[in-house]
């Protein structure tokens, strides 16, 4: 049984995209995701797609890797697309396949929603593929730190995220081991109805939970032993600094945005 | 002056029975001490008293002249007394080797330039240059322990406590770890190695055997191995040479207790 996790799958090619400040990447990707919702014509969608293709090219991450990273959501992508195609009605009827009618509006929705969703997923995936998890959490801490004065525990939140990302491989290995052990005792995870299957997962969840408590306890001890006392007075090994490259990237993004607005208004 | 001074410490978890029983211990700087004991004899509990992760119910622990009873001393004590734990996975905080090594110095508020220097020096000291940017979860157990040691070295401690740090490793990994401890000791670090593998004791300058929270034996490896029969009863199996000597003794052949293979062979040749 495959048990692979795709969050935080950093793929280092040392490209210019990898070298950008993670805060810039996060901000730009959020802005881009908002933009995607304003792309309601074919031209704008092509414009969005071009930007993503250009970014994938610049990141030097092989297309195959990107596709593999988005594979888990592919099913939902297709499902959502087909639902739109079949259930959205309006405009001219294009085809009549027995009980199913495909209308112009349906086809339109199919394209718009499928691609919209795809664009969002690819944009997010690109950030994850090109940003090392440590930079991601450092960026989070840095962006949240202004809120620290309002009582938001910025350092603690980023520490939690960092540890969570760090332990994903440990837990997935452990889950795999437990599943194998249960399978060898005759547990069958591949068949049976839903309730039977859910029941089968209890002997996996319980030991996994127990072991996570043990990990947490050990880790807390190890952190204490290495003088961890929270965020106060702590220095940072990695420094986040906006340089010329980041400024250039921001200018390019601004130009891109202006062109998008122009296309939206005049086309 | 001793680097560690435990005076009549008693300790129990919650209301359970005593885990450390009126235990006193002092250690010389630069020494290499192995603490042996079967499961549950209180080794880890003792280790955790040395870096103020636990405090005694009564008695006192002084490390580098600082008492663990005062919270103000804890950081200074922990900086000077680093600890490598049993489970390699549970001491890695981040997902890049370099950053993990930097964790201790970051906590101490060391300026960034110096952290960079320390991290590089520590990576070199454990010969992990080729893995400096790796994800710790992709490394072997032995490599993870080397990263853990580097993380301690980057804090520039005087004393390093290994709490069964080799228990999850294969025999080769354990041997490498033991060699590394020896070389660290030669560089001037005081070493405490907690283990239940009796052969780990061969390298030590002093061996302590712990049983039910008390120090049962204390001396050079040779002196302690005189009691190999009793050690076996405690579930501490002696290495081959020691077993052979005690078996011969039972048959009336007296040999000097030795750990070296060559010396043993010489003695056997003499007797035969
Ligand atoms: N956190 C804890 N809470 C309660 N009891 C504990 C705790 N840790 C250890 N003990 C108990 O204290 C006793 C000594 O444990 P300790 O871990 O010090 O032994 P040890 O010599 O390190 O053993 P091992 O070889 O298994 O590591 C044991 O009986 C154990 O069950
Ligand atoms: Mg222990």
pLDDT score recorded for residue B203 = 79
Domain boundaries, chain A: 22-266
Tens of pLDDT along B185-213? 999 999 999 998 887 887 789 999 999 99
The answer to whether A147 and A154 have CB atoms below 8 angstroms apart is: yes
How many folded domains does chain B comprise? 1
Poorest-confidence range of A105-109, B120-124, B164-168? A105-109
Pair of tokens at residue A242 = 């906006």
Task: Check whether A164 has a pLDDT greater than 80.
Answer: yes
- Asked whether the beta carbons of B244 and B253 are under 8 A apart, the reply is no
Where residue A62 falls among pLDDT bands split at 50, 70, 90? Answer: very high
Which of A9, A225, A233 is the best mutation test for B, with the most CBs of B within 10 A? Answer: A225
What band does A3 get if pLDDT is binned at 50, 70 and 90?
A: very low
Q: In the 3-class helix/strand/coil scheme, how is chain A assigned residue by residue?
A: CCCCCCCCCCCCCCCHHHHCCHHHHHHHHHHHHHHHCCCCCHHHHHHHHHHHHHHHHHHCCCHHHHHHHHHHHHHHHHHHHHHHHHHCCCCCEEEEECCEEEEHHHHHHHHHHHHHHHHHHHHHHHHHHHCCHHHHHHHHHHHHHHHHHHCCCHHHHHHHHHHHHHHHHHHHHHHHHHHHHHHHCCCCCCCCCHHHHHHHHHHHHHHHHHHHHHHHHHHHHHHHHCCCCCCCCCCCCCCCCCCHHHHHHHHHHHHHHHHHHHHHHHC
Question: How many whole angstroms separate alpha carbon B228 and alpha carbon B238?
Answer: 7
Q: Classify the C-alpha dihedral B62-B63-B68-B73 as positive or negative.
A: positive
Strands, sheet with B20-27, edge to edge from the N-terminal-most edge strand: B20-27, B4-11, B58-63, B66-67
- What is the average per-residue pLDDT within A5-22? 80
| Site of tokens 């401690």 | B157
pLDDT of amino acid A8 = 53
CA-wise closest residue to B25 among B53, B57, B52, B47: B47
Would residue B255 count as lying in a domain? no
- CA–CA distance, B43 with B37 (Å, rounded to integer): 7
Neighbours of ion ligand 2 (CB under 5 A): B 44
Q: Average of pLDDT values for B39-47?
A: 93
The pick from B13, B196, B212 for probing ligand 1's pocket by mutation, whose C-beta has the most ligand atoms within 8 angstroms, reads B13
Among A54-58, B69-73, B198-202, B247-251, where is mean pLDDT lowest? B247-251
B246-252 average pLDDT score: 73
pLDDT-above-70 percentage for chain A: 96
How far is the CA of B197 from the CAs of A191, B37, B39, B170, in angstroms? 46, 9, 11, 12
Report the C-alpha gap between B220 and B233 in whole angstroms: 20
In this structure, the number of other CB atoms found within 10 A of the CB of residue B262 comes to: 8
**How many A×B Cβ pairs under 8 Å?**
97
Minimal CA separation from A162 to chain B, in Å = 6
CATH no. for residue B128?
A: 3.40.50.300
Distance from C-alpha of A220 to C-alpha of B188, rounded to nearest angstrom: 29
Q: Is residue B244 part of a domain?
A: no
Predicted confidence at residue A254, as pLDDT, reads 95
Domain that holds residue B101: 4-220
pLDDT of residue A2: 37
What is the greatest pairwise CA distance in chain A?
Answer: 71
Q: What is the pLDDT of residue A101?
A: 81
Measure the CA–CA gap between A233 and A229, rounded to whole angstroms. Answer: 9
Ligand 1 centre and the CA of B42: distance in Å? 6
Q: CB A134 to CB B95 under 8 A?
A: yes
Report whether pLDDT(A1) > 50.
no
Provide, rounded to the nearest whole percent, the portion of chain B with pLDDT above 90: 63
- pLDDT recorded at residue B259: 62
Flag if A226 and B98 touch (Cβ within 8 Å).
no
- Strands B32-36, B206-211: pairing is parallel
Inter-residue contact A120 to A135 (CB < 8 Å): no
Q: Could you tell which of B15, B44, B210 is best to mutate to test the pocket of ligand 1, judged by most ligand atoms within 8 Å of the CB?
A: B44
Q: Which two tokens stand for residue A65?
A: 């890797």
Rounded Cα gap, residues B119 and B100, in angstroms: 9
pLDDT at A162 over 80: yes
Q: Which residues of B touch A223 (CB under 8 A)?
A: 93, 103
Which tokens in the block code for residue B258?
Answer: 């030795």
Instruction: State the pLDDT confidence band at A4, using cuts at 50, 70 and 90.
Output: very low
Average pLDDT of the residues in B136-164: 94
Residue B245 counted as domain residue: no
**C-beta B41 within 6 A of ligand 1:** yes
- Each residue's pLDDT tens digit, A69-108: 888 888 888 888 888 888 888 778 877 877 788 888 888 8
Token output for A135: 């930079």
Residue pointed to by tokens 């890797």: A65
User: Is residue B153 in a domain?
Assistant: yes
Q: Taking the model in full, what pTM does it have? A: 0.81
Mean pLDDT of chain A: 86
Return contacts of A14-19, CB within 8 angstroms, 24+ apart.
Answer: A15/A58, A15/A59, A15/A60, A15/A61, A15/A130, A16/A58, A16/A245, A17/A55, A17/A58, A17/A59, A17/A60, A17/A126, A17/A130, A18/A59, A18/A130, A18/A131, A19/A245
Greatest extent of chain B over all pairs of C-alpha atoms, in Å: 66
State which ligand 1 atom lies nearest to the alpha carbon of B43: 21
Q: How far is B138 from chain A (nearest CA, A)?
A: 9
Mutate to test the interface with B, among A131, A218, A237 (most CBs of B within 10 A): A237
Q: Is there a domain that residue B260 lies in?
A: no
| Average pLDDT over all residues of chain B | 89
* A231: closest chain B residue by CA: B107
Q: Which residues of A touch B98 (CB under 8 A)?
A: 237
Q: Which residues of B touch A (CB under 8 A)?
A: 48, 51, 53, 75, 78-79, 82-83, 85, 87, 89-96, 98-99, 102-112, 115-116, 119, 135-137, 151-152, 155
Is the per-residue pLDDT at B106 higher than 90? yes
Residue of higher predicted confidence among A5 and A177 = A177
What pLDDT does B103 receive? Answer: 95
pLDDT of A19 above 50: yes
Residue of A8, A226, A231, A234 to mutate, testing the B interface (most B Cβ within 10 Å of its Cβ): A226
Q: Which residues pair with residue B207 across a beta bridge?
A: B34, B219
* Six token digits for residue A163: 């540890």
Does A67 score more than 60 pLDDT? yes
Q: Which chain B residues are closer than 8 Å to A219 by Cβ?
A: 90-91, 93
């Amino acid at each position: 049984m495959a048990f692979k996790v795709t969050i935080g799958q950093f793929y280092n090619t040392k490209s210019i995209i990898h070298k950008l400040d993670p805060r810039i990447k996060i901000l730009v990707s959020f802005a881009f995701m908002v933009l995607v919702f304003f792309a309601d014509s074919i031209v704008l969608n092509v414009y969005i797609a071009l930007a993503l293709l250009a970014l994938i090219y610049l990141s030097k991450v092989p297309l195959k890797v990107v596709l593999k990273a988005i594979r888990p959501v592919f099913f939902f992508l297709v499902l959502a697309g087909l639902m739109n195609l079949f259930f959205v009605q309006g405009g001219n009827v294009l085809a009549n396949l027995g009980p199913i009618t495909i209308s112009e509006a349906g086809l339109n929705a199919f394209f718009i929603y499928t691609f919209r969703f795809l664009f969002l997923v690819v944009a997010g995936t690109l950030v994850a593929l090109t940003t090392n998890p440590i930079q991601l959490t450092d960026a989070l801490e840095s962006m949240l730190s202004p809120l620290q004065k309002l009582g938001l525990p910025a350092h603690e939140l980023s520490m939690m995220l960092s540890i969570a990302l760090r332990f994903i491989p440990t837990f997935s290995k452990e889950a795999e081991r437990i599943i194998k052990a249960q399978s060898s005792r005759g547990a069958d995870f591949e068949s049976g109805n839903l309730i039977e299957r859910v029941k089968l997962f209890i002997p996996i969840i319980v030991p996994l939970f127990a072991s996570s408590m043990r990990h947490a306890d050990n880790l807390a001890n190890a952190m204490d032993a290495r003088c961890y006392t929270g965020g106060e007075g702590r220095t940072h090994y990695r420094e986040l600094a906006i340089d010329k490259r980041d400024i250039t990237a921001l200018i390019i993004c601004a130009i891109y945005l202006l062109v998008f607005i122009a296309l939206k208004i005049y086309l | 002056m001793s680097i560690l001074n435990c005076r009549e410490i008693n300790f129990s978890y919650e209301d359970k029975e005593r885990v450390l029983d009126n235990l006193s211990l002092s250690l010389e700087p630069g020494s290499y001490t192995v603490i042996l004991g079967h499961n549950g004899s209180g080794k880890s509990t003792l280790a955790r008293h040395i870096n103020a992760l636990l405090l005694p119910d009564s008695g006192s622990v002084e490390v580098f002249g600082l008492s663990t009873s005062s919270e103000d001393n804890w950081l200074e004590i922990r900086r000077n007394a680093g600890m490598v734990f049993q489970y390699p996975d549970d001491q890695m905080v981040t997902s890049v080797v370099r950053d993990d090594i930097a964790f201790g110095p970051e906590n101490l508020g060391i300026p960034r330039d110096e952290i960079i220097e320390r991290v590089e020096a520590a990576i070199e000291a454990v010969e992990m240059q080729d893995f400096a940017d790796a994800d710790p979860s992709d490394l072997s157990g032995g490599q993870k322990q080397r990263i853990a040691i580097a993380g301690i070295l980057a804090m520039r401690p005087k004393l390093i406590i290994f709490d069964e740090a080799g228990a999850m490793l294969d025999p080769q990994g354990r041997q490498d770890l033991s060699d590394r401890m020896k070389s660290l000791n030669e560089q001037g670090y005081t070493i405490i190695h907690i283990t239940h593998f009796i052969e780990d004791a061969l390298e030590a300058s002093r061996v302590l055997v712990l049983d039910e929270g008390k120090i049962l034996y204390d001396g050079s490896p040779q002196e302690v191995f005189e009691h190999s029969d009793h050690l076996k009863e405690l579930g501490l199996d002696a290495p081959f040479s020691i077993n052979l000597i005690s078996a011969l003794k039972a048959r009336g052949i007296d040999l000097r207790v030795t750990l070296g293979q060559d010396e043993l062979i010489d003695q056997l040749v003499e007797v035969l």
